[in-house]
Chains A and B, each alone.
Chain A
Amino acid sequence: EAQVTQNPRYLITVTGKKLTVTCSQNMNHEYMSWYRQDPGLGLRQIYYSMNVEVTDKGDVPEGYKVSRKEKRNFPLILESPSPNQTSLYFCASSQPPQKYNEQFFGPGTRLTVL
């Protein structure tokens, strides 16, 4: 089954404690992205990657890091989380331009930073 998986699905942590949210896709897609979704603000792109070892900032990259060492994996790293990073996070993959950059989203990770 074609899918994007994220772990963990739920996470409660404290300010300053480094964390990593993993993302993996099995569709051999070149593009992968991380989004955060907040009430009233919608989906905002954090980082994206067009291929292995190629990453770039999205609209809200501050406080986040990513890496793309393998095509299937795209972890999101919060080196020193702060309460304003409490949000719902989605990983997505796509295969532009053949498929108009149609996004396949993971199930989401709900992060709470105390």
Chain B
Amino acid sequence: TQLLEQSPQFLSIQEGENLTVYCNSSSVFSSLQWYRQEPGEGPVLLVTVVTGGEVKKLKRLTFQFGDARKDSSLHITAAQPGDTGLYLCAGGWSGGGADGLTFGKGTHLIIQP
């Protein structure tokens, strides 16, 4: 069974601060996706990383895939209240004739004005 551990589980910080959340596993994944979910809505894909060591930037958000493709991090610079939400990572894998995703339990992020 492939597991993805996300940390921290909850994070509440002031507007303007920087933060990093983590997604770790003992398994190797073919890809790693990050989603953001706002209250009352479904998760929305932010980014997919596929190469070990890959770094992608989305405005103030920086995503990194670990060299061994077992872990990932999301760094937010100068957090804003609009960044508030549940951040989910999901690891992609193939096997048994199917393509699957393993989701972490998420990091609940609150940015206070």
Q: Footprint of B on A, CB under 8 Å?
A: 4, 31, 40-45, 48, 50, 56, 90, 92, 96-97, 100-108
Contact = CB atoms under 8 A, between A and B. Distances in A.
Contacts, number: 55
Contacts of B104: 42
Contact of B92 (A4, A43, A100, A108): A100
Nearest to B31: A100
A108 B35 CA distance: 15
A104 B35 CA distance: 10
A10 B94 CA distance: 34
Nearest to B45: A102
B106 interface: yes
Contact of A108 (B41, B88, B98): B41
Interface string B76-107: 00000000000010101010001111011110
B44 A101 contact: no
A99 B29 CA distance: 15
B105 A42 contact: yes
A106 B44 CA distance: 9
Interface of A is mostly: strand
Contacts of A50: 98
B101 A103 contact: yes
A101 B103 contact: no
Nearest to B9: A40
Contacts of A48: 98
Given A40-B105, A41-B105, A101 B99 contact: yes
A102 B99 CA distance: 11
A103 B48 CA distance: 11
B105 A102 contact: no
B40 A103 contact: no
Name the residue among A4, A90, A102 with the largest chain B CB count within 10 angstroms.
A102
B101 to A, nearest CB: 6
B42 A43 contact: no
Nearest to A33: B101
Contacts of B35: 103, 105
